[in-house]
Amino acid sequence: MKALQLNQIRKSYQQGAEVLKGIDVAIQPGEFFVLVGPSGCGKSTLLRLLAGLEDVSSGEIYIGNEFANRLKPSERELSMVFQNYALFPHMTVEQNIMFGLHVKKIAKEEQRKRCEEAAEMLGLIPYLKRKPKELSGGQRQRVALARAIVSHDPICLMDEPLSNLDAKLRAKMRSEIRQLQRKLGITMIYVTHDQTEAMTMADRMMILNQGVIQQIGKPLDIYNHPQNAFVASFIGAPPMNMIPANVADSVLHITENWSMDVDIDWQGDVIAGVRPEHIQQAKSGTPSFTAEVVNVEMLGTETLISFEIQSGLQWTAKWQGQHQLNPGDIVSLFIDQNQMVFFDEKEKVNIEYQSLGAVQ
């Protein structure tokens, strides 16, 4: 197991566009660390810098205690799993798995031993003599994983390895990859644009947007305490509901028909946010507000209800179980102010962090 340390990593191309803008992060030995963000945010570029496939423009990379900026990819003791699997079509599964070992000139007996161990671990024994074209997408993904495993490198980089699979197989492979990482004890850096993958797999994750770190932390900490409005809207499915509002004398004014007492040390404009699961059906007493249902999605174990909170702005509530509602129905809704999150209207920063001095 090895740690990685990135100090003020920047990457620019000849056109002058800066893709990464000062990345500082420490990845612990044996950690499953996920880089997540929208397309074009710089996460795959960062992975290529770690692998040595591209040079950093400025900053320092340390692998273990070794300065790695000038190390060749073969000297960095890491393996990589690509989005397109990168299997050789003319080779058998066995030959694909052992290819990297052959390049490293490892003895043939040791190559076969490692190949059999990895194939057994990933259920590939029956397919060792097949060519990649004879395999399903999930089986090809396992071959790519096996090729990374047999190298015995302490660090594994994964660049959106599940993006080509269907939804059911992705869920299965998420679990398999996570269990495999725990079993091997390797340090894994995993790139994805899918926040569900990030939430379910990561020990910690780093959210990137336009080459800038938005937040680093454990998945549930980020979900419950988003540092800014971007993180709040990106993490969560459905995403956090948000609306411009105003705080005056501890009263939050949201719409013409909805205001509530709030315990926050703030005066002025804010963005108020609430997770879909925290919008409840009012059981008794005075509801927070009433709204007209515009769409209902029944998923079996839960129901998603979309409603118009003000002209041109829809919110979504997520209720457990099956609820028989139809578009046009009027529902009474309740929100506990303790479940709400407030962001500075100008900076889009969580007011909770500002009050703690966690954000400059």
> Residue 360: what pLDDT?
33
Cα separation, 265 vs 357, whole angstroms: 13
* Other beta carbons less than 10 A from residue 184's beta carbon: 17
**Least confident residue range of 159-163, 206-210, 318-322:** 159-163
> Residue 232: what pLDDT?
94
- pLDDT range class, residue 199, cuts 50, 70, 90: very high
Q: What are phi and psi of 229, to 5 degrees?
A: -65, -30
pLDDT of residue 27 exceeding 50, the answer is yes
Q: What is the mean pLDDT of residues 139-148?
A: 88
**Which residue type, as a one-letter code, is found at position 105?**
K
Using DSSP's 3-state secondary structure scheme, residue 75 falls into: helix
**317 compared with 162, residue with greater pLDDT:** 317
- The answer to whether residues 31 and 203 touch, using CB atoms and an 8 Å cutoff, is yes
| DSSP one-letter code for 74 | G
The pTM for the full model equals 0.89
- The answer to whether residues 140 and 85 touch, using CB atoms and an 8 Å cutoff, is yes
pLDDT of residue 355 exceeding 60, the answer is no
> Residue 310: what pLDDT?
83
pLDDT of residue 353 exceeding 80, the answer is no
- pLDDT range class, residue 203, cuts 50, 70, 90: very high
> Residue 83: what pLDDT?
80
Using DSSP's 3-state secondary structure scheme, residue 14 falls into: coil
- pLDDT range class, residue 171, cuts 50, 70, 90: confident
> Residue 357: what pLDDT?
43
Cα separation, 232 vs 236, whole angstroms: 7
Mean pLDDT of the chain: 89
pLDDT of residue 359 exceeding 70, the answer is no
pLDDT of residue 32 exceeding 90, the answer is yes
Q: What is the mean pLDDT of residues 84-111?
A: 88
- pLDDT range class, residue 285, cuts 50, 70, 90: low
pLDDT of residue 221 exceeding 60, the answer is yes
How far apart are the two ends of the chain, measured CA to CA in Å? 35
* Other beta carbons less than 10 A from residue 95's beta carbon: 16
pLDDT of residue 125 exceeding 80, the answer is yes
pLDDT of residue 11 exceeding 50, the answer is yes
**Least confident residue range of 220-224, 226-230, 345-349:** 345-349
Domains of the chain: 4-229 (3.40.50.300), 241-356 (2.40.50.140)
